[in-house]
Chains A and B, each alone.
Chain A
Amino acid sequence: MDKVYKRTLGIQEGVVSGFCPGCMHGTAHKLVGEVVEELGKLDKLVRVEGVGCCGLGQAYVSHDTIIAAHGRACAVATGVKRCSPDSLVYTYQGDGDLASIGLDETVSAANRGENFTVIFINNGIYGMTGGQMAPTTLIGMKATTAPFGRKAEEHGYPMHVCEVLAQLKAPQFLVRTTVDTPQNVIKTRKYIKQAFQNQIDGKGFSLVEIVTTCPTNWGFTPKDSITFLRENMLAEFPVGVYRDKDAGIE
């Protein structure tokens, strides 16, 4: 028999991730590693890491990593990519990092069409700090800073990053996906590969939003968190390609 699935070299050998059971950050890390390994570019890969649970990745991945200040990953990545165009640069950010404190940096980098890749993990909650309300927290969903649930009239509505960025002309590729099933993992891998290939081809800003679970702060078992993801998160955040200039999706 042949080995048909192996652990990627993009994550460190023998290292157990710091993520909670069922947290899909691990899946996203694995996919980035697999894709870039396949592209033969792990030596050129530079991770610009946001702050939050994504910070657990710096001890997990095997490639060059620059830890950005909270929300500033797209600005830091701009500096890195502009000064080192040969590097394959990606930011790895959660929803609080990318869509709240770092929304300006995200939108502006997208609007400049910066030639790097953004991996955006949307689980609707601040994980690392303990379950506070995120810009993507669902209406009615409880958070430690919205103990009675998110109310539209008080907190506004969940932030739709792909839809917001799709208003801009510059971005090359904007997609929302999830990794709840093997099929969706395979699809997400394809999207991530396209996002990195776009960068290699100099096509500009590509963002892959992955809707994920946070069993710990949602208060579910991993299996139940998948049910919640499908019934609630994906209802609010529909998966799909929001921009793909190559495919004529504008």
Chain B
Amino acid sequence: MAKGKVDINPEFCKSCEYCVVSCPKKCLAVGEKVNSKGYLYVVSANPDDCIGCAMCAQVCPEGAIEVWR
């Protein structure tokens, strides 16, 4: 069972990938779907590895990520 959980709002995400490179557990990845603005939004690719450290949310410029632990 994962220690943490992220909730990425697809509409807020602009695919800058700052969260992807900041995740210590490499949980996040650019997804395959686009949002209404045309961005390939980031998804939690390995949710089981999430430790809820919120590093992704810290760097996210768009306030798109909420984190549970």
Does a CB–CB distance below 8 Å link A and B in the complex?
yes
**A contact residues vs B (CB 8 Å cutoff):** 1-8, 11, 16-17, 19-27, 30, 179-182, 185-186, 215, 222-223, 226
B37 cross-chain contacts in A, Cβ below 8 A: 16
Whether B62 pairs with A17 at a CB distance below 8 angstroms is yes
A222 to B61, CA, bound (A): 11
The chain A residue with its CB closest to the CB of B67 is A5
B62 cross-chain contacts in A, Cβ below 8 A: 16-17, 19, 26
What 0/1 pattern do residues 39 to 69 of B give for CB contact below 8 A with A?
1000000000000101111111111111111
Tell me whether A21 and B39 are in contact in the complex, defined as CB-CB below 8 angstroms, given that A2-B69, A5-B57, A5-B58 are known contacts: yes
Whether A4 pairs with B59 at a CB distance below 8 angstroms is no
B21 cross-chain contacts in A, Cβ below 8 A: 223, 226
B52 cross-chain contacts in A, Cβ below 8 A: 1, 4
Whether B14 pairs with A22 at a CB distance below 8 angstroms is yes
SS of B interface (majority): loop
A83 CB to nearest chain B CB (Å)? 32
B5 CB to nearest chain A CB (Å)? 6
**B contact residues vs A (CB 8 Å cutoff):** 4-5, 11-12, 14-18, 21-22, 37, 39, 52, 54-69
B8 CB to nearest chain A CB (Å)? 11
Nearest 7 pairs of A and B residues by beta carbon? A26-B61, A22-B16, A21-B14, A222-B16, A182-B55, A1-B68, A182-B58
Kindly identify which residue among A3, A8, A21, A179 contacts B16, using a CB–CB cutoff of 8 Å.
A21
The chain A residue with its CB closest to the CB of B4 is A1
Tell me whether A30 and B14 are in contact in the complex, defined as CB-CB below 8 angstroms, given that A4-B54, A5-B54, A182-B22 are known contacts: no
Tell me whether A2 and B68 are in contact in the complex, defined as CB-CB below 8 angstroms, given that A30-B63, A222-B16, A223-B17 are known contacts: yes
Residue of A11, A24, A27, A179 with most partner-chain B CB within 10 A: A27
What are 5 A-B residue pairs whose CB atoms fall within 8 Å in the complex? A8-B63, A17-B61, A26-B60, A26-B61, A182-B58
Whether B63 pairs with A26 at a CB distance below 8 angstroms is yes
B11 cross-chain contacts in A, Cβ below 8 A: 16
A185 to B5, CA, bound (A): 20
A24 to B61, CA, bound (A): 6
Whether B67 pairs with A3 at a CB distance below 8 angstroms is yes
The chain A residue with its CB closest to the CB of B64 is A7
A186 to B57, CA, bound (A): 11
Residue of A5, A22, A23 with most partner-chain B CB within 10 A: A5
